[in-house]
Structure 1
Amino acid sequence: MSNAQPGGYYFAPPSHWPIVGSVALFFLAVGGVLLMNSHGVGWIPFAIGFFTLVYMLFGWFGTVIRESEGGLFNNQVDMSFRWSMSWFIFSEVMFFAAFFGALFYARVYSVPWLGDVDNKLLWPEFAAHWPTMGPYRPAEFTPMGAWGIPAINTLLLLSSGVTCTWAHWALKKNDRANLIFGLSLTIILGIIFMSLQAYEYMHAYSDLNLKLTTGVFGSTFFMLTGFHGFHVTLGLTMLTVILFRSVAGHFKPDHHFAFEAVSWYWHFVDVVWLGLFLVVYWL
Structure 2
Amino acid sequence: MESAFETETRAVFDCHQRQQEDDDHIFDRLTSLIGDDYFGLPSGGFRGLDILDAGCGSNANASYAFLNKGARSVTSLELGDAWMDCARKRLGRFGARSVLVAGSVLDLPFDDTSFDFVHCAGVLPHTSDPQKGFQELVRVTRPGGNFFLTIMGTANGVLYRCINHLRELYQSDDQFRRSVDNLSAATARQAVDWLLDTKDREEAEYLPNENEFFRSLFDDDLFVTIRDRLQAPTYHDFNFTEMQIRGWYAESGLENVRRISRYTRDFHNLRRFLAPMYRYYDHPLARFWFGDGCIQMIGEKPRQ
TM-score range, shorter chain: under 0.3
Larger radius of gyration: 1
Name the one with the larger helix percent: 1
Taking structure 1 as the reference length, what is the TM-score of the superposition? 0.27
Taking structure 2 as the reference length, what is the TM-score of the superposition? 0.26
Name the one with the larger strand percent: 2
